[in-house]
Amino acid sequence: MDIFLAAIEVLARWDVLLALLVGSIGGVAIGAIPGVGPAVAIAILLPATFSMDPIVGLTVLLGIYGSSMYGGSIPAILINTPGTAVNALTTYDGFPMTLRSEGRRALSLAYSASFFGGIFSVICLIALSPVLAKVAPMFGAREIFLAALLGVILVITAHKGQMLIAAALTGFGIFLSTVGLEPVKYTRRFTFDQSWLASGINLIVVVLGLFALSQAFLLLTMDDEKIRTPRARGSLLQGFRELARHPRVASIAASFGVVMGMVPGVGEFTAQFLSYTSARRLSKTPEAFGHGSSEGLIASEAANNAVPAAAMIPLLALGIPGEALTAMMLSVFYVHNVVPGPGLFQTQMDFVVALYLALLILNVLVVVFLLVSTGWLVKLTQIPNRFLGMCVLMLSFVGVYSIRNSAVDCCIAAVFGLFGYALKRLNMPIVPIILGMVLGNIMEVKLRAAMNRVKVPWDFIDRPIAFLLFCVIVMILASTLWRTIRDWRTPDRRSPARKASARFIRRIAGRQTRHFDDRLKIQRRRRTYDHMGS
């Protein structure tokens, strides 16, 4: 009870509450604009949060992270264009409802399912706090190293069909983390006698280049298109009553979101596909999925909104980010000398509980805001792409320059922006580079610390948690190798429809949706997905 009261005292400040309000409303607006997304917004805001208190800066970023998927459902349902990449599945059942003049019903279902998923995951997070507080201190240097290594492996294996590319990009990110002064003897590595490389390549500069600048270049090369939103009928409150008639679908979807959110490198896409497939298999009307099924819409939205709170578990307990957005938040911790990991639950438990309560309040604020402002948010979908691109470009360079007042950083960000643009055009993942930079630095520091007590190789895994993590790593590598050999030796005898569905799943699960404004492609992908399970 004392910790709970202390957490309320941390939150009961005008600047924290203002940050929560701005982050939640801003995240909804960002999500409602196709082609921008939370990664771009968080990357632009990162330099500004460094001058704030840790709880204020993290509250802003959490607000954007947790609320953007709410807003992303609006264009996905009304104009068949996902506002964020993780809202792609929402188009399958949301847009057919709009074509039947049931757009408000679809929006209401999306809001209610998102709210349920968000609240469910926060409750799970609070319930797991006592367990985390007991388990986290058991993680020493070797356990955190193995957990980070497991995260790297999961990031690579999650990109099915692109594992070699993901491995190469992750290795590139790990290489970038080694540039500059090494952390023990402070000798220069890979600087080539260039003084501007002595301090290393800044993570925030790379983030702004790969996410913000690359997206700005992509928006600037897109053609502006006039978007007409159809008239929607119905009440925005009826979805909450309809959600109560599908408790099993919502609970299973939210559970998938919680479990997948806790696993580094997996995230929203896997949770969505598992929940959507399970809901379709358990439904009494599976033929309605993809044609305006309320169960399908609930399954996709409840799953992706349950992930943000669950993704905070490995970040807070071990200091290991599960995906790009939590990797960006990790930098805010480090700037303010707040080190996430086992010690955080022992020394600053009130800070951790305050973040949980902020996530809880966030979901309530977002739903109330959406119920009164959906009509205004719909207009954001009509902002021209090139205007958006110029705004993102300008804000990105301002953010990069404000970090260290360095023109060199702007040049580095521009190079990574062009590199990220090329990756997006080639439909290759960007997230492995960022996670490679973050996890590579963690692995190096923890490996150096662990080797001081290791005499023989067996000493590295002579403790229960270390041995368990080692076994999990071996099993994942063995199963991945076995599947790869099996697929290489066995000819693919699947039907053309199933092959198309498999290609589509790999493309979406690759973490990048290239063309947000190409609605015809999304319709074609939806039709190919209909064949799966038929």
State pLDDT tens for residues 507-520: 444 433 444 434 43
| 464 found inside a domain | no
Q: What is the pLDDT of residues 134-181, one digit of tens each?
A: 777 777 788 888 888 888 888 888 777 788 898 999 899 999 888 888
Give ∠ CA 70-76-80 in degrees, rounded to 5: 175
Higher-pLDDT residue of 254, 498: 254
Q: How many domains does the chain have?
A: 1
- Can you tell me the distance from the alpha carbon of 323 to that of 326, in angstroms, rounded to the nearest whole number? 6
Least confident of 121-125, 259-263, 483-487, 492-496: 492-496
Instruction: Give the model's confidence band at 498: pLDDT under 50 very low, under 70 low, under 90 confident, else very high.
Output: very low
pLDDT at 234: 55
pLDDT at 231 over 70: no
pLDDT score recorded for residue 515: 40
Dihedral in degrees, nearest 10, Cα atoms 213, 216, 221, 226: 170
Output the pLDDT for position 172. 92
120 CB-near residues (< 8 Å, 6+ apart)? 251, 254, 255, 257, 258, 302, 306
The span from the CA of 74 to the CA of 84, in Å, is 10
The predicted model scores a pTM of: 0.74
Question: Would strands 180-181 and 188-189 be described as parallel, antiparallel, or unpaired?
Answer: antiparallel
Are 94 and 290 contacting, i.e. CB atoms less than 8 angstroms apart?
no
pLDDT at position 383 over 50? yes
Question: What confidence tier does 440 reach under pLDDT thresholds 50, 70, 90?
Answer: confident
- Around Cβ 465, how many Cβ atoms within 10 Å? 17
Check pLDDT > 60 for residue 496: no
Residue 458 included in any domain: no
Q: Which of 91-100, 314-323, 358-367 has the highest mean pLDDT?
A: 358-367
- What is the rounded average pLDDT of the residues 352-370? 85
Residue 127 has pLDDT above 70, yes or no: yes
* Angle, alpha carbons 197-198-200 (nearest 5°): 65
Outline where 136-178 has alpha helix (H). Answer: 141-158, 163-178
Question: How many angstroms separate the Cα of 207 from the Cα of each of 173, 355, 416, 433?
Answer: 11, 24, 9, 9
Q: Which two tokens stand for residue 116?
A: 């349920």
Q: Write out pLDDT tens, residues 279-305.
A: 888 888 878 877 888 888 888 888 888
Asked if residues 472 and 153 have their Cβ atoms less than 8 Å apart, the reply is: no
Q: Which residues, at least 6 apart from 105, have a Cβ–Cβ distance to it below 8 Å?
A: 97, 233, 234, 235, 238, 239, 242
Q: What confidence tier does 419 reach under pLDDT thresholds 50, 70, 90?
A: very high
Contact 281, 317 (CB under 8 A): no
pLDDT at 527: 45
Model pLDDT, residue 267: 63
The residue range of the domain holding 341 is 2-453+491-530
Is the residue at 138 inside a domain? yes
Between 223-232, 482-491, 508-517, the lowest mean confidence (pLDDT) is in 508-517
- Binned at pLDDT 50, 70 and 90, residue 491 comes out as low
Residue-level pLDDT at 455: 78
Of residues 303 and 234, more confidently modeled: 303
Q: Is the pLDDT of residue 526 over 70?
A: no
State whether residue 518 is helix, strand or coil. coil
Structural domain contains residue 478: no
530 pLDDT tier (thresholds 50, 70, 90): very low
Q: How confident is the model at residue 203 (pLDDT cuts 50, 70, 90)?
A: confident
Task: Look at residue 471 and tell me if it is in a domain.
Answer: no
Per the CB < 8 A criterion, the answer to whether 35 and 517 are in contact is: yes
Does the residue 326 lie in any domain? yes
- Is the model's pLDDT at 522 over the cut of 50? no
Residue 157 lies in a domain: yes
Q: What 8-state DSSP symbol labels residue 517?
A: T
The pLDDT value given to residue 168: 92
Amino acid 511: pLDDT: 36
Contact in structure between 59 and 21 (CB atoms under 8 Å):
no
What's the pLDDT tens digit per position in 175-190?
A: 988 888 877 677 888 8
CA-derived radius of gyration, the chain: 22
- Helix, strand, coil percentages, rounded to 5, for the chain: 75, 0, 25
Torsional sign, CA 358, 53, 62, 120? negative
Which segment of 122-136, 181-195, 336-350, 470-484 scores lowest on mean pLDDT? 336-350
pLDDT at 418: 93
Average the pLDDT over 415-429 and give the result: 89
The reported pLDDT for the residue numbered 415 is 92
Whether the predicted pLDDT of 36 surpasses 90? no
The two structure tokens encoding residue 387? 């205007």
